[in-house]
Amino acid sequence: MAKDKREHIVLVCSETGDLNYYTSRSKLTPKLELMKYSPRLRRRTIHKEKRRK
């Protein structure tokens, strides 16, 4: 079977630690760090990548 070139990740809010978004990315790219909406804080915050198990 061919190896998958994408991996599934979770985006975690840097301020609250909530797991808000699930996505995938290429294994060759650097770790994601995006400005996404945090429902608990009701504003946009930085979300960092965490590996999904």
Is residue 1 a part of any domain in this protein? no
Residue 4 above 90 pLDDT? no
Q: What is the pLDDT of residue 52?
A: 82
How many structural domains does the chain have? 1
Q: What is the CATH number of the domain that holds 12?
A: 2.20.28.120
pTM of the model: 0.85
**pLDDT tens digits along 9-40:** 999 999 999 999 999 999 999 999 999 999 99
Is residue 18 a part of any domain in this protein? yes
Domain that holds residue 32: 6-51
Q: Which two tokens stand for residue 10?
A: 């979770």
Q: What is the pLDDT of residue 21?
A: 96
The amino acid at residue 4 is D
Q: What is the pLDDT of residue 3?
A: 74
- Best CA proximity match to 9, nearest among 17, 20, 43, 1: 20
18 three-class SS: coil
